[in-house]
Amino acid sequence: MPVPPQTQTPPDLSRMQRRAQQKNLHGGVSRRKTSQGNGEPQLRRLHLLRTTLVAFAILCVVAALAVIAVFFMWPNSSRLAQGTQVDFVIAPGTNSTQIAADLKHAGLIGNETIFRFRLQRLGAGSNLIAGTHLLVSGWSYERIILALSSSPTSTAVKVVIPEGSNIARIATILHDRLGLSAAAFEAYATTAASDFKQQYPYLESAYNGSLEGYLFPDTYQFPKSSTPQEICAEMLGRFDQVWAGLQPSGHSNYSIAQLVTVASLVEKEVSVPTERPLVASVIYNRLDRNMRLQLCSTVQILLPDPAKNKLRLTAVDLATPSPYNTYLHAGLPPGPIANPGKAALEAALKPAQTSYLYFVLTGKDGSQTFASTSAEFETAKLKSKEVFGQ
């Protein structure tokens, strides 16, 4: 008889369900861990991207500021020797791009793009005049643009400004050589510091806005059509060039305005060149001891001609009221009394190291006797009287 089939035991469903749940549970944990693991690198990438973008933005801002500084403030440089005169020709119909290229080729500017930018900023792009212009190497971009915008001329006049000339004397020389109004030049030069203080910040301290002391005495070639502003610009540029080449030493606690004032005093008090550092030492020694300078030059500039050059000053002369009168007022005058040359500027920066407190004119060649004590000073005065009389 047939054997009946064996009954199979059904699987334990509850056990299988638990295993499936555990499997699903383990798989879920695994997936969550994987999801978290993939998110952290993504966050790091986002953070790195943001950091890169910020750094790039900062770099762009710095680069933009650098470009602005170059185009607005970068000084002109010339491959020619400073002060070299060049007859520069603008042919009729020449555009500003070609003019910039020609200026570069002539060695008068350092960068064509900056020249064109300054030209547009000044609104002078269409104002450049055809013809022959006298230009000088070392001029600023603005000075060149001003010259090229003025009536062309290749006629220059040699003008010699002696060391120690004050503004009034310079005005007379310019009138004699160029026919320029002396009154117009003097009126401008004694008030024009504000026109140049952005380019030369030390002019911020110029007394009453005067350029006295900063119009460097030298030999110049000025076009006959020069204006007071153009002449002052060139003389200031020459002063700045000379000053930049000097190295202050020993009295750096004095401002540029004070040092130039000392130099002007040295220039007016000295006839023998080797005595400049000695006179400078007397000035600083007296200032250090709070002694009045009592320099005759600060009174002579106040007197009318021809009294300015008299050898002996009277008691009335010495009482002339003025802030420049160092017999009446302690310390330095409020500003330079003349325009010093390079040697006087050097003496102000590097005075001799002495104990001298006095000096007296004792030689007909302009030489002086220096003294450290009152007794020595009295002896020197007697010697002066022997040579020059009472």
- The answer to whether 336 and 314 have CB atoms below 8 angstroms apart is no
Q: What is the pLDDT of residue 215?
A: 98
- The answer to whether 229 and 188 have CB atoms below 8 angstroms apart is yes
Q: Token pair 């009729």 is at which residue?
A: 92
Q: What is the pLDDT of residue 307?
A: 65
Q: Which sign, positive or negative, has the C-alpha torsion 374, 312, 262, 352?
A: negative
Rounded-to-integer distance, Cα 81 and Cα 137, Å:
7
Listed residue (33, 290, 263, 75) closest to 163, CA to CA: 263
Q: What is the pLDDT of residue 249?
A: 56
Task: Say which DSSP state 329 is in.
Answer: S
* Per-residue model confidence as pLDDT tens for the chain (390 residues): 444 444 444 455 455 555 555 555 444 444 444 444 556 777 777 778 887 777 777 777 666 655 665 566 688 888 888 778 888 888 888 899 999 999 999 999 999 999 998 888 888 777 888 888 888 888 888 889 988 988 775 567 889 999 999 999 999 999 999 999 999 999 999 999 999 999 999 999 999 999 999 999 999 888 888 899 999 999 999 999 899 888 765 556 899 999 999 999 999 999 999 999 999 999 999 999 999 999 999 999 999 876 677 778 899 999 999 999 999 999 999 999 999 999 999 999 999 999 999 999 999 999 999 999 999 999 999 999 999 887
Start-end of H helices in 74-166: 96-105, 112-121, 141-148
Its pTM stands at 0.65
Residues across the chain: 390
Q: What is the pLDDT of residue 335?
A: 97
> Residue 226, exposed/middle/buried by CB under 10 A (0-12, 13-18, 19+)?
buried
